[in-house]
């Protein structure tokens, strides 16, 4: 299972990349707006830190403008993946970019049918938002299960990125269901490595070692 980090903060990306578990990065306009660097500088710096897929989202709303943005962004680095909204215009863009050899990440997927359409259009990745589904009383992980079966049934060349992760259990469930990728906010990545019994054990070992050294 691949881990992408869901942030545009260069310092955070550097920190977690040093752990050796970051395979890619997902960004969006909201995350980019929080950075002190310009959009172009942030993207270039992120590509220098992580040698893996870097999702950059288009901001236009019609297919022609989205394609223009996609071509501009993809020319910046070989690892750039174009993030496209899962709607009718987005399907046109995904299909067109597939023919141009440009990888895409269909974002804001909330149903199996949406994911199926994006996979058929040629999306390299689909990003179902499990946390937002949980927020409205639906089971986000049920969607992951459905999409995993659909992609397996028809051998689509599409990977599932589990997005909108809210807690460590989302990561565990995504791995158990066979999702290809989890895109994880920094605060959740911190929680994955933490356990009170681990901290307790380290503290005990260090105290015991002090006795031995004396």
83 counts as catalytic: yes
Q: Which of 125, 158, 115, 10 lies closest to 57 in space, CA to CA?
A: 125
> What gap in Å lies between CA 102 and CA 112, rounded to an integer?
24
Q: Which of 96, 42, 41, 45 lies closest to 68 in space, CA to CA?
A: 96
- Out of 2, 11, 78, 83, the active site residue is 83
Q: Which two tokens stand for residue 151?
A: 């992609």
> What gap in Å lies between CA 101 and CA 95, rounded to an integer?
10
Helical spans, DSSP H, in 50-111: 63-74, 88-100
> What gap in Å lies between CA 183 and CA 110, rounded to an integer?
16
Structural contact between residues 161 and 182, judged by C-beta atoms closer than 8 angstroms: yes
Catalytic site residues? 83
């Amino acid at each position: 299972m691949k881990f992408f980090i869901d942030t545009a903060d260069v310092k955070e990306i550097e920190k977690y990349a040093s752990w050796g578990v970051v395979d890619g990065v997902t960004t969006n306009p909201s995350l980019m707006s929080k950075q002190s660097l310009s959009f172009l500088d942030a993207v270039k710096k992120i590509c220098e830190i992580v040698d893996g897929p870097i999702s950059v989202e288009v901001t236009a709303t019609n297919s022609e403008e989205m394609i223009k943005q996609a071509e501009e962004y993809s020319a910046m680095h070989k690892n750039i993946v174009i993030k496209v909204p899962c709607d009718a215009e987005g399907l046109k863009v995904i299909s067109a970019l597939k023919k141009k050899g440009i990888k895409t990440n269909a974002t804001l997927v909330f149903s199996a049918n949406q994911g199926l359409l994006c996979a058929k259009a040629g999306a390299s990745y689909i990003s179902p938002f499990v946390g937002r589904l949980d927020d409205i009383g639906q089971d986000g992980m049920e969607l992951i299960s459905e999409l995993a079966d659909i992609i397996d049934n028809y051998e689509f060349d599409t990977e599932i990125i589990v997005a909108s992760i809210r807690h460590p259990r989302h990561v565990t469930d995504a791995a158990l269901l066979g999702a290809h990728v989890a895109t994880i906010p920094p605060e959740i990545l911190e929680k994955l490595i933490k356990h009170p019994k681990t901290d307790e054990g380290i503290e005990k070992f260090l105290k015991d070692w002090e006795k031995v050294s004396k």
